[in-house]
Structure 1
C-alpha cells in the first residue's frame, strides 16, 4: 500500500478549489475569512482607503462636535474619581457617563454599518478577482443607501424596545415605592437586555450585505440574515468578535499615541487622564479625533470585509453560491469535480 504502482499511487487528494479572487470558492475556514478581508484591503487599497477615510472623517467630525458642544457640558462624572462620594452620587455619575457614551456609540455604529455597505461592492468583486473603482462602488451602493439607513434605524428601534421592555418591571416596582426591589429588577433587566440585544444583532448581522448585494427590501434582508445565521450563531459570533478584537488592537496602537499627544498639549496634562473630572477641551478632542480617524481606516475595512465574507461563506455552505460565483468569474467547467475540503472550519 502506497508503494509505486500499489494502492494510492498517484493519489494527491481532491483537487483544490478555484480561487479567482481573495478567497477559494468553497466553505471557508476562520483564517481564510480574516485573510480575505486583509487581502481585499491590500489589493484594492485605493478604493478601500477612499471609502474608509470619507466615512471615518464624517463620523469623527460628528463625534467631536457632539462631545465638545453638548456632552462635556451636560455630563458630570466627578464622583467616579472621588473616593468619598456616596453610592448614589457614583451611580448618578455612572449614569451620566453611559448617557454620554450612548450617542457616541450610535454615531460610531452608523458609520461602521455605512462603511460596511459601501465596502460590500469592493469585497464582492474582490471575491471574483475583478477590480472596482470608488465610483463603481458608489454606483452599486447608491440605490440601496436609503434602505440601508432604514435598516439601521429599525435595528436601533428594536434594540431600544428590548431594553425598555426588560427595564419596565423594575421601573414599575420602583414607582410603586419599593426602591430596593426595583433596583434589583432593573439590574436583571439590564443584563437580560444585553443578552437579548447581542443575540438579535448577531442573528441580523448579515442583513446589510443581503440588502446591498441581493437588492432586497429591509424586511427580506432581515429574514435572509436570520435564515443564513440559523444554527450558526456561535460561529458567526466568534468570528465577528475575533475580527473586532484584531481590528481594535491594531487601531489602539494607532489611537493611543494621539490621545497621549492630545493630553500632553492640553491643560490637564497626561497625568490628568486618570482623573475623571479633567476637561481637556477642543485641543484634546481634535488631536485624539485625528487618531480615531486613522484607527477607523483600519477597523472599517476589516469589519466590513469579515461581514461580507461571512455572508458569502454562509451562502456557499447553504446555497452552493460558489457555483454562481465561479460562473460570474468566468471559470469554465467549475463544479464538475469535487472541491477541496475545508481545514479548521
Structure 2
C-alpha cells in the first residue's frame, strides 16, 4: 500500500456512478471488507473481523510489548525510589513543628519529574508499537493474507519511532488552540490586581476553552489518519500529517461521525472488559480490609488477597485500555483504506497486486540477472 497514482482513481469501478440500468456489480472481497467505498457498519464489522481473524498474532505482539514496557517502568520507579529513599522520612515525617528542609525536598521533586518524563516516554513508545501494529495487520486482513508474529513485530517496532513522532506532532498541533488560550489567560490571571478580577478571569477560562475546543477537534480529526499513512506508506511524521490532511479534506464530517461512533463503541466494550475484573477485585479486597485489625499488622493472607485484587484490577484495566486503543487504531486505518478506495483507486491496485502475486512467486528471475530492489517510499526522509 504505497502512495501511488493508480489507473482508475477518479471514476468507474465500484466508487463511480451506477452502472447499466442502475445495476452495480458486486465488489470483490478477498479479505475482511469488500473493495469498494465502505459504510459505517462495514468499517465497524471489518475492524471486528480483523480482530477475530488475527487475534493470536495481535495478542502475541501486545503481550510482547507489555513484557518490555512494564518491567522497564518498574525498573525506572525502583531506581528512582532507591536513589531518593533517604529523603522520604525528612520530608513526609518531619519533627513536630518543623518544615521539611529544602535539601530533602529538591531531590524528591527532581526524581518525580524524571520518573514522570521517563514513564511518559516508555508509555508513548508502547502505545506507538500498538498503533503501528494495527495498520500493519489490517493491510494483510484486507487482502486476505495470513500474518506471522515475527513479521508484524518487525514492522511495528521499525515504524514505532515514526508513529510516536507523528502522534506527538499531531497532539501538539491539535492542542495548540488550548495552549493559546492558556498563554493569554495565565498572564492576565497573574497580573490581576484584585481578588474580584482574579475570580472574573477564572470564570472567563471555561468560555475561552469552549471556544477553542471546536478548532482542537477539527485538527484532531484532520490528522486522525496519520498513523495509517506512516505505517502503510512508509512516510515520516511530517509527510504523514500532510497526507492525512489531504485524505480527510472534503470528507471531514463523515470521518468525524464514523470516528465518534468507533471511539464510543470501543470505550463501551473496554468498560465491559474491565467491569468483571473490577467487581471481582473489589469483592476480594473488602474481606481482606476488614480482616486487618485497627492499628495492627495485616496477616499474610490479607496481604495476599490485597495483592491479588490489585493485580486483577490492574490486568482488567490494561486489557480494556489495550482494546480501546487497538480498536480505535483499526477503525482509523479502515477509514484510511476507505478514503484511498474512494479517491485513489486503491481497490483496483490491490486486486492487481493479488492477481500478480502467484505469477511473481512462480516466475524465477532470469539467469545472470539480479532481483530488482523494491522502490523506496517517498516519505522515508521525514522519519
**TM-score normalized with structure 1 length:** 0.71
Q: 1:47 maps to what in 2?
A: 57
For residues 266 and 70 of structure 2, the distance between their equivalents in structure 1, rounded to whole angstroms, comes to 18
For residues 265 and 207 of structure 1, the distance between their equivalents in structure 2, rounded to whole angstroms, comes to 43
Is 1:291 the counterpart of 2:316? The answer is yes
Q: 2:156 aligns with which of 141, 145, 166?
A: 141
Closer/same/farther in 2, CA of residues 194 and 266 from structure 1, 3 Å limit: farther
Q: 1:305 maps to what in 2?
A: 330
Closer/same/farther in 2, CA of residues 267 and 167 from structure 1, 3 Å limit: same
For residues 222 and 237 of structure 2, the distance between their equivalents in structure 1, rounded to whole angstroms, comes to 15
Q: For residue 313 of structure 1, report the CA deviation from its aligned partner.
A: 0.3
Larger Rg: 1 or 2? Answer: 2
Is contact 1:53–1:293 with CA below 8 Å preserved after alignment?
no
For residues 316 and 71 of structure 2, the distance between their equivalents in structure 1, rounded to whole angstroms, comes to 12
Q: For residue 26 of structure 1, report the CA deviation from its aligned partner.
A: 0.8
Higher relative contact order (CA 8 A, sep 6+): 1
Residues 83-119 of structure 1 deviation map (CA, whole Å, 9 limit, x = unaligned): xxxxxxxxxxxxxxxxxxxx99998776554312112
Q: 2:247 maps to what in 1?
A: 228
Is contact 1:56–1:296 with CA below 8 Å preserved after alignment?
no
Q: 2:222 maps to what in 1?
A: 203
List alignment gaps of at least 5 residues for structure 2.
1-20, 82-87, 89-117, 290-305, 358-383
Q: 2:25 aligns with which of 9, 15, 27?
A: 15
Q: For residue 13 of structure 1, report the CA deviation from its aligned partner.
A: 2.8
User: What SS does the aligned partner of 1:32 have?
Assistant: helix
Residues 159-194 of structure 1 deviation map (CA, whole Å, 9 limit, x = unaligned): 454322112232222122121332133222332343
Q: 1:121 maps to what in 2?
A: 136
Q: 2:355 aligns with which of 297, 320, 330?
A: 330
Closer/same/farther in 2, CA of residues 220 and 160 from structure 1, 3 Å limit: same
Q: For residue 199 of structure 1, report the CA deviation from its aligned partner.
A: 1.7
For residues 245 and 224 of structure 2, the distance between their equivalents in structure 1, rounded to whole angstroms, comes to 9
Closer/same/farther in 2, CA of residues 61 and 239 from structure 1, 3 Å limit: farther
Residues 15-56 of structure 1 deviation map (CA, whole Å, 9 limit, x = unaligned): 201111111111111111111111111111211221233446
Q: 1:38 aligns with which of 35, 48, 67?
A: 48
Is contact 1:41–1:48 with CA below 8 Å preserved after alignment?
yes
Computed over aligned residues only, the root mean square deviation of the Cα atoms, in angstroms, reads 3.8
List alignment gaps of at least 5 residues for structure 1.
1-10, 74-102, 271-280, 333-345
Closer/same/farther in 2, CA of residues 66 and 232 from structure 1, 3 Å limit: farther
Residues 96-152 of structure 1 deviation map (CA, whole Å, 9 limit, x = unaligned): xxxxxxx99998776554312112111111111111111111233343222122222
Q: 2:35 maps to what in 1?
A: 25
Closer/same/farther in 2, CA of residues 230 and 110 from structure 1, 3 Å limit: farther
Is contact 1:53–1:297 with CA below 8 Å preserved after alignment?
no
Q: In the TM superposition, what are the counterparts of 1:158-237 in structure 2 within 5 Å?
A: 158-177=173-192, 178-237=197-256
Q: 1:100 maps to what in 2?
A: none
User: What SS does the aligned partner of 1:215 have?
Assistant: coil
Is contact 1:129–1:329 with CA below 8 Å preserved after alignment?
no
Q: 1:261 maps to what in 2?
A: 280
For residues 258 and 64 of structure 1, the distance between their equivalents in structure 2, rounded to whole angstroms, comes to 22
Is contact 1:28–1:313 with CA below 8 Å preserved after alignment?
yes
Is contact 1:174–1:181 with CA below 8 Å preserved after alignment?
no
For residues 316 and 77 of structure 2, the distance between their equivalents in structure 1, rounded to whole angstroms, comes to 16
For residues 265 and 62 of structure 1, the distance between their equivalents in structure 2, rounded to whole angstroms, comes to 29
Q: 1:5 maps to what in 2?
A: none
Q: For residue 234 of structure 1, report the CA deviation from its aligned partner.
A: 1.8
For residues 159 and 58 of structure 1, the distance between their equivalents in structure 2, rounded to whole angstroms, comes to 30
User: What SS does the aligned partner of 2:285 have?
Assistant: coil
